[in-house]
Structure 1
Amino acid sequence: MKKKILFVCLGNICRSPSAEAVMNGFLKVNMLDDEFECDSAGTGGWHVGERADSRMRTHAARRDYDLTSIARQFNPKNDFDEFDLILGMDSQNVSDLKGMARTSEDLSKIKSMTDYCSRYEHYDSVPDPYYGGADGFELVLDILEDACDGLLKQIDK
């Protein structure tokens, strides 16, 4: 049975779909893609049904990541039961997720994405690039690559 990982940000159009794509890329390279399934969601529902932000898709594509996910809102009724690990992109996302948790088991599945960083340890969140320039999208990808590398090392033990 596949282990399931859910990446969560605010709107599910920049950070969480990127985390999903980066992790899928890392899993494929390490031939673990048949052992894990990744998805992403947003705590808010403003962008439900939309593709990832075009700027995020462009920056990710330059690194050979394909952002194919369609935005959806986190569903506490299903997602806590469906996923083994739920990763929030920033402290607000983590706090929102914890507020939706029904049980201590739900709470134990929620972690912060940056907990897995080794090179970008000074970041306590994956910053939202939506209102910024190109540098913000690149920084998001740098942090996510670091975090996904750390996550892979953690789950491969």
Structure 2
Amino acid sequence: MSLQRISESALTHKVLFVCLGNICRSPLAEGIFSGLVDDAGLTGDFQIDSAGTGAWHIGNPPDPRSVEIAARNGIDISHQQARTVSLDDFDRFDVIVAMDGNNLATLSSLCATPRAEIRLLLNAPPMDVPDPYFGGPEGFEDVYLLIRSGCEKLLATIR
């Protein structure tokens, strides 16, 4: 194995998922992406977290509907706690993944020169992951499927 290959395999990819309150979409994305990384045998190669651009839910667990849809798909996100994006996140993470265009714009306005790449989860073509908070359980199912698809593509891109 070449030295370049050894150093590449030692890299840790740091990914932060961001939505508005960090109780619906971004906790799901964190859980889904973590599961995909685990399934690929890459757990030690990634640091994964989530945050929100708003401060309403700091310290709260994910929305029970997010916890339930994740559990139905074999993912436990019940231990997560909502937090807000900090300025340190723009230097600590390699990729900051927004769930929608509004959060993407907010992230871009928070830091003029981020080290991290800031991007939409669904970026080809650009598409928002809708916020299911004010809807029923079916919205969480739809959001789960969108996030899973986006996370699969993101992992393939990073690998």
Q: 1:101 Cα deviation (Å)?
A: 1.5
Aligned to 2:5: none
Conserved 8 A contact 2:94-2:115: no
Instruction: Determine if the alignment matches structure 1 residue 132 to structure 2 residue 135.
Output: yes
Aligned to 1:95: 105
- SS of the aligned residue for 2:76 comes to coil
Q: TM-score, normalised by structure 2?
A: 0.89
Q: 1:2 Cα deviation (Å)?
A: 1.6
Q: 1:108 to 1:80 in 2, by over 3 A?
A: closer
Tell me the alpha carbon deviations over residues 78-113 of structure 1, each in whole angstroms, 9 at most, x when there is no partner: 10111000000000000000001131xx17610001
1:109 to 109, 117, 121: 117
Q: 1:71 to 1:108 in 2, by over 3 A?
A: closer
**Aligned-CA RMSD value:** 1.4
Q: Distance in 2 between matches of 1:57 and 1:46?
A: 18
Q: Distance in 2 between matches of 1:17 and 1:153?
A: 20
Conserved 8 A contact 1:20-1:39: yes
Q: Work out the number of aligned pairs and report it.
A: 148
Letter in 2 for 1:154: T
Conserved 8 A contact 1:85-1:109: yes
Q: 1:134 Cα deviation (Å)?
A: 1.2
2:42 to 32, 37, 47: 32
Letter in 1 for 2:123: D
Q: Which runs of 5+ in 2 are unaligned?
A: 1-10
Q: TM-score, normalised by structure 1?
A: 0.90
Structure exhibiting the larger radius of gyration computed from Cα positions: 2
Instruction: Determine if the alignment matches structure 1 residue 69 to structure 2 residue 69.
Output: no
Tell me the alpha carbon deviations over residues 99-133 of structure 1, each in whole angstroms, 9 at most, x when there is no partner: 01131xx17610001116xxxx5x71111000001
Letter in 2 for 1:86: I
Identity %: 42
Question: Which shifted more, 107-116 or 59-68?
Answer: 107-116
Moved over 2 A (4+): none
Conserved 8 A contact 2:90-2:116: no
Q: Which runs of 5+ in 1 are unaligned?
A: none
Aligned to 2:6: none
Letter in 1 for 2:60: E
Q: Distance in 2 between matches of 1:66 and 1:31?
A: 18
Q: Distance in 2 between matches of 1:39 and 1:65?
A: 15
Q: Distance in 2 between matches of 1:27 and 1:7?
A: 14
